[in-house]
Chain A
Amino acid sequence: MEAAPKARRIDVAGALRDAGVTGLIAFGLFLPLIGFETVTDIRDELILTTRWPLLLALLVVIAAGRFAYSVAVAPWLARRAERPKAATSAWQRRIRQWLVPFAIGFVIVYPIGVIAIVGFGGALRWVDNFGIQILIYMMLGWGLNIVVGLAGLLDLGYVAFYAVGAYSYALLAKNFGLSFWILLPLAGILSSFWGVLLGFPVLRLRGDYLAIVTLAFGEIIRLILINWVALTNGYAGVIGIPRPTFFGIPFTADANGFAAVFGLQFSPVYRVIFLYYVILALALLTCFVTVRLRRLPIGRAWEALREDQIACRSLGINTTNTKLTAFAMGAMFAGFAGSFFAARQAFISPESFTFIESATVLSIVVLGGMGSQIGVAIAAVVMIGGTEILRQLNFLKEIFGQTFDPTQYRMLLFGLAMVLIMIWRPRGLISTRDPSVFLKERKTIGADLVAEGRG
């Protein structure tokens, strides 16, 4: 794992030795957990079975990969580093200029395009699993971006506000029969109330400590949702949550349902497409509000707070209020997303609001490049779309046998991707920032020039 020598000549013997050492270390790493498997036998006792062929195959792959790296990849990287960096060409600039309008146009026509290509039957999966799922995380990412990216407050319990929004909608809609459109803002208000409530005591904390406290709050809220059975029905969750309607017209198969009113053949796809546009509007609203807020005094105060808290205080910015507004604003969007989530699923349980969700959203923000709206969108597509694709890879069963289930590797690869992307680009995918204030011309600055938040 040492850095490759700078010599032009490829050192094959050294590469072989490296490969051998790597293989040996990998043998030590994987021997207990891959070499042996603990299985429960018919008498319900644990017994051991061995998996030597699998272990051997893995070691060969790792050693060969290490060899290929030192022989081919490392010299190539060294050569590339020596070459002077090319300036951005005209077409690269043009791509950048047209990226956002194109992306917005694409997401608007996406469901129609999908139906045109795969027809009504196949569209459900594509719009629901890819479209809605990614947009929910994109919205959460944009919401958390206010807290982490703009105000520089590291929040590991963001999912708590998502849960508050979801349970607000679920319980109020089920028990009081209020409609989705009334409860959506209400869920946002309740969530932002919780954001202020939880934000207030922890404002003095900085960096990692803040992260851990917010994590603790997130877990506390989840544990309360599990244990307060009288209100939330505990692990079993809330079932039969009313679905949103199209201005009062439900998406059902009966005579006053959506399809019948508009004289269409009934299909569940209509509801999914409606939900798609609802979450698209909510996500774009989040993005739009964030972009506009950055130009207001409050947004500038957030960014100033991220850069230097003490300087902020000496300039007369009320840091408490500034932090609380960031928390409340981020929580509000999580509340919107949560109530949408509850309405879409029609079933919620505490299982949907684990720490993994917070980590996922935070990783989307950080991997995308903190503070970058486009970066967050790209990261959401890559991370959520990537893991969703794994669900669809049924052809792998043909290769690895019928017992092979690609979905169980979903989180494994997700974790690995987080580590690898961080090593590759510690500042995130989009690591440049447009300044919100500039004199004559707008110059993009590298994010490495921007101090990370210590607020």
Chain B
Amino acid sequence: MGYFVQQLINGVTLGSIYGLIAIGYTMVFGIIGMVNFAHGDVFMASAFIALIAFLILTSWLGIGSVALALFIVLIVAMLFTALINWAIERIAYRPLRGSFRLAPLISAIGMSIFLSNFVQVTQGPRNKSIPPMVQGEFVLSKSHGFPVTLSYKQLIIWGVTAVLLLAFWYLVAKTRLGRAQRACEQDQKMAALVGVDVDRTISMTFVIAAALAAVAGTMYLMYYGVVNFADGFVPGVKAFTAAVLGGIGSLPGAVVGGILIGLIETLWSAYFSIDYKDVAAFSVLAITLIFLPQGLFGRPDVEKV
């Protein structure tokens, strides 16, 4: 029992990270109908930016307070990653808007290859590991010989994810930008006619998606303490799985899907085989798409003549 609860805690933590990335996929798909293949690599790049910011703060500026350092790292990573994603949209996707359907997908795959190799060339191919930023844990129960612990960093991840999701929900549901986004999602031409700046709204969507990916990247770095240039692909595909599982285009779906994928992966590794945990996640993707293509919260896609 204790073991199971521990796996649940770990799974939800991992799932929060996937959920944050999945929102980026689902938002971009919702608004321009493309799978942003480079999103996983944007996440990886953000983890590197967070790593560099953390090193600057601790080793050069000598900031002692972990909470303050983490906060600054988060802000810096969000800003720079948002700029990167903004530029990607501007350079690689915007000229192809309205072009034929495969063009942006190929462009995104090219961007994904470019980004991961760019980080490899500039930062080197080796794993980058840092000493743990946050240590310590709560022991929740010690019964049955297996201590169930909730570490501070897991708590931070839960807290940050929850706060950001609230802020994000407010942004989409209550602000002018969010309204513009929902309008563009339904009908871009009509939205433009009633005075919504479609280009700007799409740019802002990429900026927000990147900011959330940067939060995920920072949390990933803090949780695992190690990052590598190739770390974008697999979490990217898993987060996409989460977005599909939750119903692509649906924001709560992305978070629920992320947590489900996190749980499936963790429980699979705990009870079956750790070697095949990625196979489990990919199988979930295939099974969902085949049997439940609209996902848990998505609208069914009607085929029109």
Contact = CB atoms under 8 A, between A and B. Distances in A.
A412 B282 contact: no
Contact of A31 (B80, B87, B123): B80
B128 interface: yes
Interface string B82-117: 011001001110011001111111110111111101
A33 B49 contact: yes
Given A47-B59, A48-B60, A409-B121, 14 more contacts: A29-B87, A32-B48, A33-B52, A34-B122, A37-B122, A208-B105, A213-B290, A220-B283, A227-B275, A408-B120, A415-B113, A426-B96, A426-B103, A448-B100
A38 B80 contact: no
Contact of A211 (B105, B124, B241): B105
B34 interface: yes
A197 interface: no
A28 B53 CA distance: 14
Contacts of B122: 33-34, 37
Interface of A: 1, 25, 28-29, 31-34, 36-40, 45-48, 154, 201-202, 204-205, 207-209, 211-213, 215-217, 219-220, 223-224, 226-227, 310, 355-356, 359, 362-363, 366-367, 370, 408-409, 411-412, 414-419, 422-423, 426-427, 448, 452
Given A219-B278, A227-B276, A38 B123 contact: yes
A219 B117 CA distance: 20
A47 B117 contact: no
Interface of B: 34-35, 45, 48-49, 51-53, 55-56, 59-60, 80, 83-84, 87, 90-92, 95-96, 99-107, 109-115, 117-124, 126, 128-131, 233, 237, 240-241, 244, 275-276, 278-279, 282-283, 285-286, 289-290, 293, 303, 305
The 8 closest A-B pairs by CB, nearest first: A418-B110, A415-B114, A415-B113, A426-B103, A412-B117, A216-B282, A419-B110, A426-B99
Contacts of B126: 40
A417 B83 contact: no
Contacts of B123: 33, 37-38
A213 B285 contact: yes
B113 A356 contact: yes
Contacts of B84: 29
Nearest to B54: A46
Most interface-central of B35, B56, B110 (chain A CB within 10 A): B110
B121 A452 contact: no
A219 B56 contact: no
Nearest to A310: B305
